[in-house]
Amino acid sequence: MTLYVDTSGDALFKRGVRQYTNVAPLRENLAAGILLLTGWQPGVPLLDPMCGSDLYGDELKAAHLNLENAGLRGAVTLNQANVLEISAPADHGVLVANLPYGERMGDLEELQELYPKLGDVLKKKFGGWNAYLFTSDLRMPKFIRLSVSRRTLLFNGAIECRLFEYKMVAGSNRT
């Protein structure tokens, strides 16, 4: 007979503020590490235009519940929008996105169409911002058609990924 004792309780994601999760959530420690790598500071606008990534609002409802459970209901603004139709909410800031990369979400052909369009949105609407795009799809920089400022190797579980940094220049369609 073997006896096991659970010394750690529920999974870590269930112990914090995120009790409701979406299809492909980013682990909290990885998300925190990515945020540290961006150099973001409180008071600087922070935008994750792909947080939740759902068409029907279910993930948005879950995020609202998580914020309410954490006592942060009024501290964070959540909106549902098409990532290709968003605009920068300020003249400078940090944009961070965990892009779909064909592992658990996103068809590779769809991604080949998405990446150039996303690059156009960043060029036209996010001048003055630093954009950080996280993906395992190493073709993404070619398709997004922006100049990479920095590449950082990271792992999402066993999946080798990169965090690509893009410094968007205000008043220009170039980086």
Specify the DSSP element, H or E, that contains 116: helix 108-125
Specify the DSSP element, H or E, that contains 135: strand 129-135
In a domain, 133, yes or no: yes
Per the CB < 8 A criterion, the answer to whether 92 and 128 are in contact is: yes
The pLDDT value recorded for residue 104 is: 46
Check which CATH number belongs to the domain holding 143 and give it: 3.40.50.150
In a domain, 60, yes or no: no
Q: Over the stretch 44-101, which tens digit does the pLDDT of each residue have?
A: 999 998 876 666 677 778 878 888 888 887 777 887 888 899 999 999 999 999 987 6
In a domain, 67, yes or no: no
Give 124's pLDDT tier (boundaries 50, 70, 90). Answer: very high
In a domain, 17, yes or no: no
In a domain, 112, yes or no: yes
Q: Over the stretch 16-53, which tens digit does the pLDDT of each residue have?
A: 554 555 555 678 899 999 999 999 999 999 999 887 66
Give 152's pLDDT tier (boundaries 50, 70, 90). Answer: very high
The pLDDT value recorded for residue 17 is: 52
Question: Which residue range(s) make up the domain with 107?
Answer: 24-52+81-167
Q: Report which of 166, 163, 84, 78 is spatially closest to residue 125, judged by C-alpha positions.
A: 84
Per the CB < 8 A criterion, the answer to whether 20 and 65 are in contact is: yes
In a domain, 13, yes or no: no
Q: How many domains in the chain?
A: 1
Q: Report d(CA 132, CA 95) in Å as an integer.
A: 6
Per the CB < 8 A criterion, the answer to whether 152 and 33 are in contact is: no
**Burial of 119: CB neighbours in 10 Å, binned 0-12, 13-18, 19+:** buried
In a domain, 110, yes or no: yes
Q: Report d(CA 159, CA 143) in Å as an integer.
A: 21
* β-bridge pairing 129-135 and 159-167: antiparallel
In a domain, 76, yes or no: no
Q: What pTM value is reported for the model?
A: 0.78
Lowest mean pLDDT among 57-61, 118-122, 164-168: 57-61
